[in-house]
Chain A
Amino acid sequence: MKRKGLLAFLFLVVLLGLVALFSLCVGTVWISPLGLFSLLGRREADSTIATIVWELRLPRVLLGFGVGGALSLAGVMLQGLFRNPLVEPYTLGISGGAALCVAVVISLGLRAGGLVTLPVAGFCGGLAVILLLYLLSARRGILNIQGLLLTGVMLSFISSSLIMLVMALSRTDDLHGILFWIMGFLGDANWGTALFMLVVSLGGFFISYPLSLRLNALALGEEEAAHLGVNIEATKRGVFLLASLLTGLCVASSGVIGFVGLVVPHLMRLLFGPDHRFLMPGSFLFGAVFLVLCDTIARTIVSPTELPVGVITGIVGGVLFIHALSRKRMGL
């Protein structure tokens, strides 16, 4: 398994490089790979091509890498924690809280505060839901997993209804902004957000990876894992907080990009099996590949118009997943 796993990781790293290169080349303006290499180390080069690559496409690719990796990582951790394959980072209502705050900010016309207004509002909304969830589901330091899931789903429904209320009361001009944000969009990427998310997702990965073995034990059930010496409450708290913060930061930086955190862990489970020691890095890498590729499709398929990336992740992810699942069922 170790050798097979290493080969698969190598393949994913190469795939990520190729997808990133492809994403830098394609767009309204085609830039050849050779043209890209000539721009290496010349960020200040005074040309339109240099501006497109350095200021538009590269930050967007890096943001896609960070957000895709982090969402998939959060998804795989939460599916492991809840032992439920239908759970995804947005199930707990964190995205709902973030989206509600952003919708309120947009409809009240407060986004004039600058580029960071929406991410900050989104993060505050997400954080409020995380705290509320924890307070409602923890009793004497013990986190009730089923209670957490049900409370999260309810909070998600409540936020969705409130978002609809805000949208119903919003002006038509604001509606477009809210809708794009809710469907997820990487087009606002800049170097600050991209590098921040890159550091967050890589940091999140390295901090959460030591939990992989405990997630394997949790697959047997809480009591079985406790019999193996796993500190159950610390593990549950750690996984919940890490996955929630990663989700909150992803939503704050690029809106609600659906399906990545659900479908990528499942696809990787078909490749690596249920072992989180392989599943977590595999999902992180393939999540990055998947989102960068979907974003490239979203900004080129009806170019020069851009589609929200969430539309593409839903369609591509769903089709890929059904295809992989049917192949597995047929034993191919």
Chain B
Amino acid sequence: MELQGVVCGYRGGFALKEVSLALEGGEILGVIGPNGSGKTTLVRAISRILKPKKGRIAFGGDDIWELPAQDFAKRVAVVSQDSPYVDMKVEEYVMLGRLPHYRRFQLFESRKDREKVAMAMDLVGVGNLRERHLEEISGGERQLVGIAKAIAQEPRLLVLDEPVAHLDISRQLDVLNLVERLRGELGITVVMVLHDVNLAAEFCDVVGVMREGELLALGTPCETITETMVREVYGVKVVVEKNRFSQRPMVVITRGGVDPSC
């Protein structure tokens, strides 16, 4: 995935300003930044929802806006911030992930589709929820089911928009460990928007820091997550230490840490 000088906006204002980045296959990119910094706009641009006013987004060398919608969906799967509350069984929902692979007039799933869905659900660990309705399962389970649907798409790039928002610490780890495992087992590239800087430091290979629509920094967690960056971007004073287990940066907050100079 490569972005070259991408500019996106809503009604005259710019939400992304000249964003450029290149992502290697199999990498996990975490996008962090304060509210309104353009993280979700970046996800919408990458996932072919919002057309750039300027610049180019390419996947595997092809401009994503020149690819047919179905071909794009075979390469890129997106898990949205809020999984939908629809009257549908979990298995039926995950089966929709096979839609990009359906032939022209195919309306019902083939045996291969059923196998792929069963595999995706088992891989994510939601096979036991098959017959349950989406409305009956918890927020964490719904997030995992959303990932299972994305895996059923057999994508090369998985885009996750705040996958751990509203989840408790145990479910957050479930989801992020799963993402790491999927990258390992399937070799897919992952782009995920995260609010928690520590989770981004811990689970991402590359971290992109956004502020006011600009990609302020892009690099390894050690390069990007620094006390200076947090003060500049979030306007708070923090201490950044090294996690003694993973040797990755770890943000320690203190009471009243708002920086008056920011």
Contact = CB atoms under 8 A, between A and B. Distances in A.
Interface string A36-65: 000000000000000000000000000000
B42 to A, nearest CB: 15
B84 interface: yes
Interface in A198-247: 209-210, 212-213, 216-217, 219-221, 223-224, 226-231
B73 A227 contact: yes
Interface string B4-32: 00000000000000000000000000000
Nearest to A234: B69
Contacts of B69: 226, 229-231
Interface stretch (B52-60, B100-108, B136-144, B248-256): B100-108
25 contacts: A210-B107, A213-B99, A213-B102, A216-B96, A217-B96, A217-B99, A219-B86, A220-B84, A220-B86, A220-B93, A221-B84, A223-B44, A224-B80, A226-B49, A227-B49, A228-B96, A228-B99, A228-B100, A229-B69, A229-B70, A229-B71, A229-B72, A229-B74, A230-B69, A273-B87
A228 B73 contact: yes
Contacts of A2: 108
A111 interface: no
Nearest to A221: B84
B189 interface: no
B102 A274 contact: no
Nearest to B102: A213
Interface in A134-165: none
B70 A227 contact: no
A280 B70 CA distance: 24
B92 interface: yes
Contacts of A212: 107
Contacts of B171: none
Contacts of A220: 84, 86, 93, 96
A275 interface: yes
Contact of B48 (A210, A216, A226): A226
A221 B44 CA distance: 14
B217 interface: no
For chain A, give the interface size range. 20 to 34
A238 to B, nearest CB: 15
Contact of A274 (B47, B48, B80, B88): B88
Contacts of B120: none
Contact of A277 (B87, B88, B108): B108
A229 B108 contact: no
A92 B229 CA distance: 53
Highest count of chain B CB atoms <10 Å: which of A2, A212, A224, A277: A224
A106 B253 CA distance: 78
Contacts of B77: 227
A213 B73 contact: no
B78 interface: yes
A27 B77 CA distance: 60
Contacts of A231: 69
B33 interface: no
A227 B72 CA distance: 9
Contact of B105 (A210, A226, A229): A210
B213 interface: no
Contact of B87 (A210, A229, A274): A274
A214 to B, nearest CB: 8
Interface string A281-313: 000000000000000000000000000000000
A273 B87 CA distance: 8
Highest count of chain A CB atoms <10 Å: which of B74, B77, B96: B96
Contacts of A274: 86-88
A139 to B, nearest CB: 13
A7 B88 CA distance: 21
B48 A275 contact: no
B107 A277 contact: yes
B99 A219 contact: no
Interface string A182-209: 0000000000000000000000000001
Contacts of A226: 48-49, 69
Given A216-B96, A219-B86, 9 more contacts: A212-B107, A217-B96, A220-B93, A224-B84, A228-B99, A229-B69, A274-B87, A274-B88, A277-B107
B38 interface: no
Highest count of chain B CB atoms <10 Å: which of A228, A231, A277: A228
Contacts of B92: 275
B97 interface: yes
Contacts of A228: 73, 96-97, 99-100, 153
A223 B96 contact: no
Interface string A251-290: 0000000000000000000000111010000000000000
B194 to A, nearest CB: 20
Contacts of A209: 107
Contacts of A213: 99, 102, 107
Contacts of B48: 226
Contact of A227 (B47, B105, B108): B47
Interface in B100-129: 100, 102, 105, 107-108
A231 B69 CA distance: 7
B21 to A, nearest CB: 21
Nearest to B133: A273
Contacts of A223: 44, 49, 80
